């Protein structure tokens, strides 16, 4: 028999009000601060995201402050959090809010989804927590709670399963204090109904959890088989001139858009590192280089790709660098590196320059 909606609601609400962590975005109804917290926590744990949340607000305390900032300033404050599309969309949306909504976020989940970077989950979180709208949320933690609570054996990520999860979440969220319930079910997934070794004895809904009754907790949620993450060998050129180094800004769209980096590229099959560097510098910068010594070889993992960056000092022997693939090139002294937002992979060798 399916769990009672009323019983689940009451148990999660009571547990959350008793056990909720003391977090800064829970002491406010400011939609901007709630929005910022939700964006940061989309791909980041609370303990990792909290310092970034505080530093970001220190730099941009209001939507208007964020809207008036440059993209470089925003990306620098976001540096280290990864998934930089979040920061760029946050910035773009702030400019829309400032220009078209008088600095106030729309108050419904439907209208919030019209802003750049705000999807169904983020819109539901903002609308329910800041404005009291009866809007559901479904993130990874909620999926785990629901698939165990209802013992769902269909793989998450499939269209029909996702539709069922949103339907269940929508039925559970109450009309009174919907934000508390949404925060409660997310917190339950983060702290109790964890991916491994869930604390069923300490769970407020254990008595009505179908997976608990059937002993299938470890099998929920069902996931499709993971794909093998490919590995790519890369080369990076460290080109110096009078104590400054050549860096380029990545195009705004795409992976790591808007960040600064040292020029480089993929090693093609059959190429040596030296041949790859000569080709990359010719194609990306319009210059001929002589490859010198190896500075470092560092590894870095993205969600979809693992890379090894082989970093070499290079001297220009012909031509002047032109931004063929970068949106902009600059010569920067090491003392100025802190003014630029670099990808994490570049940070692994910056201190060697």
pLDDT digits (tens, 9 = 90+) for 308-335: 999 999 999 999 999 999 999 999 999 9
- Give yes or no for residue 223 having a pLDDT over 80: yes
Task: Specify if 39 maps to a domain.
Answer: yes
Task: Specify if 224 maps to a domain.
Answer: no
Q: Are residues 214 and 257 in the same domain?
A: no
- Give yes or no for residue 280 having a pLDDT over 90: yes
Q: What is the domain range of residue 308? A: 231-350
Q: Are residues 235 and 331 in the same domain?
A: yes
Burial class (CB in 10 A: 0-12, 13-18, 19+), 132: middle
Q: Give the rounded percent of residues in the chain with a pLDDT score beyond 70.
A: 100
> Which pLDDT score, from 0 to 100, does residue 252 have?
85
Task: Specify if 161 maps to a domain.
Answer: yes
Q: How far, in Å, CA of 353 to CA of 258, rounded?
A: 22
Q: Report the candidate in 295, 312, 300 with the shortest Cα–Cα distance to residue 256.
A: 300
Q: Are residues 148 and 254 in the same domain?
A: no
Q: How far, in Å, CA of 333 to CA of 353, rounded?
A: 10
Q: How far, in Å, CA of 126 to CA of 119, rounded?
A: 11
Average pLDDT score over residue span 252-262: 89
Q: Are residues 244 and 337 in the same domain?
A: yes
- Give yes or no for residue 150 having a pLDDT over 80: yes
Task: Specify if 226 maps to a domain.
Answer: no
Q: What is the enclosing helix (H) or strand (E) of 332?
A: strand 328-332
- Tally of domains within the chain: 2
Q: Which residue has the tokens 């925060």?
A: 183
Maximum Cα–Cα distance across the chain: 76
Give pLDDT tens digits for 332-346. 999 999 999 999 999
Q: Are residues 207 and 244 in the same domain?
A: no
Q: What angle do CA 311, 273, 303 make, to 5 degrees?
A: 60
Give pLDDT tens digits for 166-184. 999 999 999 999 999 999 9
H-assigned helices in the chain: 5-19, 31-41, 46-59, 63-68, 71-78, 85-100, 109-112, 120-131, 140-149, 159-172, 178-191, 210-214, 273-285, 344-350
> Which pLDDT score, from 0 to 100, does residue 2 have?
79
How many Cβ atoms are within 10 Å of 66's Cβ, its own excluded? Answer: 24
Q: Are residues 168 and 267 in the same domain?
A: no
Average pLDDT score over residue span 75-101: 93
For residue 177, give the DSSP letter.
Answer: S
Give pLDDT tens digits for 91-145. 999 999 999 999 999 999 999 999 999 999 999 999 999 999 999 999 999 999 9
Q: Are residues 9 and 154 in the same domain?
A: yes
Q: How far, in Å, CA of 207 to CA of 317, rounded?
A: 74
Would you say 83 and 42 are in contact if contact means Cβ atoms under 8 Å apart?
yes
> Which pLDDT score, from 0 to 100, does residue 250 have?
94
Task: Specify if 225 maps to a domain.
Answer: no
- Give yes or no for residue 279 having a pLDDT over 80: yes
Q: How far, in Å, CA of 137 to CA of 179, rounded?
A: 10
Average pLDDT score over residue span 148-176: 96
Q: Are residues 192 and 284 in the same domain?
A: no
Give pLDDT tens digits for 184-195. 999 999 999 999
Would you say 287 and 320 are in contact if contact means Cβ atoms under 8 Å apart?
yes
Give pLDDT tens digits for 258-271. 999 999 999 999 99
How many Cβ atoms are within 10 Å of 266's Cβ, its own excluded? Answer: 14
Given 38, 187, 278, 284, the catalytic residue? 38
Select from 219, 244, 268 the last residue of a domain.
219
Mean pLDDT, rounded, of the chain: 95
Residue 307 belongs to domain with CATH number: 3.90.79.10
> Which pLDDT score, from 0 to 100, does residue 54 have?
97
- Give yes or no for residue 1 having a pLDDT over 80: no
Task: Specify if 239 maps to a domain.
Answer: yes
Q: What is the pTM of this model?
A: 0.82
Question: 231 phi and psi, to 5 degrees?
Answer: -115, 140
- Give yes or no for residue 255 having a pLDDT over 90: no
State yes or no: is 73 an active-site residue. Answer: no
Residue 133 belongs to domain with CATH number: 1.10.340.30
């Amino acid at each position: 028999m399916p769990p009672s909606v009323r019983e689940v609601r009451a148990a999660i609400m009571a547990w959350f009000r008793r056990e909720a962590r003391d977090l800064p975005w829970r002491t406010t109804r400011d939609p901007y601060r709630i929005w910022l917290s939700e964006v940061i926590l989309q791909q980041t744990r609370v303990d990792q995201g909290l310092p970034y949340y505080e530093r970001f607000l220190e730099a941009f305390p209001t939507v208007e402050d964020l809207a008036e900032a440059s993209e470089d300033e925003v990306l620098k404050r976001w540096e280290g959090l990864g998934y930089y599309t979040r920061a760029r969309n946050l910035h773009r949306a702030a400019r829309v809010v400032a220009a078209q909504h008088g600095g106030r976020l729309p108050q419904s989940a439907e209208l919030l989804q019209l802003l750049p970077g705000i999807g169904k989950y983020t819109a539901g979180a903002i609308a329910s927590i800041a404005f009291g709208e009866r809007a559901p949320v479904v993130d990874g933690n909620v999926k785990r709670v629901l698939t165990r609570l209802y013992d769902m054996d269909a793989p998450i990520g499939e269209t029909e399963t996702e539709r069922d999860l949103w339907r269940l979440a929508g039925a559970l969220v109450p009309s009174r204090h919907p934000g508390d319930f949404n925060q409660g079910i997310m917190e339950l997934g983060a702290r109790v109904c964890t991916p491994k070794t869930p604390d069923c004895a300490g769970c407020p809904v254990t008595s009505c959890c179908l997976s608990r009754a059937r002993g299938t907790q470890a099998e929920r949620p069902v996931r499709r088989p993971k794909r093998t993450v490919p590995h790519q060998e890369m080369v990076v050129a460290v080109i110096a001139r009078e104590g400054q180094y050549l860096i380029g800004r990545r195009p705004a769209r795409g992976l790591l858009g808007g960040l600064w980096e040292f020029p480089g590229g993929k090693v093609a099959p059959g190429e040596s590192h030296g041949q790859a560097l000569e080709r990359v510098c010719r194609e990306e910068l319009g210059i001929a280089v002589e490859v010198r010594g190896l500075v470092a070889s560092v590894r870095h993992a993205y969600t979809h790709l693992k890379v090894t960056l082989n970093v070499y000092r290079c001297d220009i022997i012909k031509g002047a660098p032109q931004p063929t693939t970068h949106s902009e090139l600059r010569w920067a002294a090491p003392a100025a590196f802190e003014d630029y937002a670099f990808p994490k992979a570049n940070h692994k060798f910056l201190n060697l320059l």
